[in-house]
Amino acid sequence: MSPADLALLAAALIGAGVLSGLLAGIFGVGGGTVIVPVLYDVFRLMGVAEDVRMPLCVGTSLAIIIPTSIRSFRSHLAKGAVDMDVLRVWLAPVVGGVIIGVVVAAHAPAWLFKAVFVLVAGILSVKLLFGRQNWVLGDTLPGKALMRAYGVVIGLTSALIGIGGGAISNLLLSLYRRPIHQSVATSSGLGVIISIPAMIGYVIGGWSITPQLPPFSLGYVSLIGAALIIPTSMLAAPWGVRAAHALSQRRLEVAFGLYLLFVAARFFISLLN
């Protein structure tokens, strides 16, 4: 790559870090919905092969989410908005779902990652943009058995598309009439639970094909991408938390829905190419 291309690459990764940190704080998500699409184009420009590009994006995203999620979670926890009871119920099943997702990812074709991304982002955006007050599954959270089943689905899906699980858990909690701000705060804790074991799994899964990956890759984790994005995302996460508590519930839902719709369209187009 030329010096100009390298400068553009660095600027794109730093910009993605700021945006992912803001999203982590505003929406309680790990920022993977921003990082994965950006990294996909970055690795494409670097000439990374199609069959390993998406797993590399997902693994790097999960590594980046770790510090961002920790900072976002601690900020929400300090405001007393996190429902720790929900996180305790989800802990074991979410980790179990992550393990299943990492195993699937080791054998999955590239299109599967994109298809799951489009499906999840599309469903979430429709609910947030067009959902009505009567779109609910119940007035209170269900029993522990169903909550644990939800946890497995959250962990599995998040491990396949490189997110911290906040987007999916936000949807579930809202379907049980949990306030959006509490849902966001509680969901921020999932990023910590999901990203650490998932990242380890992607490092192990890509270890045997290291020669096919870009320089300074640790399995399916790009150390260069992580080094440029992590500091800026951590810096921006508290700004997002302050913005989240200043926005109304509806504005928060619409903003998140529009963003997810854009992400779904972006990957759907790439599936057709």
Q: What is the pLDDT of residue 94?
A: 94
Does residue 31 sit in helix, strand or coil?
coil
Tokens 């990492």 belong to residue: 102
Q: What is the pLDDT of residue 169?
A: 85
Measured CA to CA, the distance from residue 29 to residue 169 in angstroms comes to 9
Length of the chain: 273
Residue ranges for the chain with pLDDT beneath 70? 1-2, 24, 27-31, 249
Measured CA to CA, the distance from residue 148 to residue 164 in angstroms comes to 17
Q: Which ranges of 131-222 would DSSP assign to H, the alpha helix?
A: 144-161, 166-175, 180-205
Q: What is the pLDDT of residue 80?
A: 81
Q: What is the pLDDT of residue 4?
A: 76
Measured CA to CA, the distance from residue 265 to residue 121 in angstroms comes to 9
Q: What is the pLDDT of residue 202?
A: 92
Measured CA to CA, the distance from residue 50 to residue 55 in angstroms comes to 10
Q: What is the pLDDT of residue 149?
A: 95
Tokens describing residue 23: 């999203």
What is the CB neighbour count within 10 angstroms for residue 47? 9
Measured CA to CA, the distance from residue 264 to residue 166 in angstroms comes to 16
Where are any strands of DSSP class E within the chain?
A: 217-218, 221-222
Tell me which amino acid residue 243 is.
A
What is the CB neighbour count within 10 angstroms for residue 256? 24
Continuous segment of H or E residues that includes residue 252: helix 249-272
Instruction: Report the predicted TM-score, pTM, of the whole model to 2 decimal places.
Output: 0.78
Tokens describing residue 123: 């469903």
Q: What is the pLDDT of residue 241?
A: 75
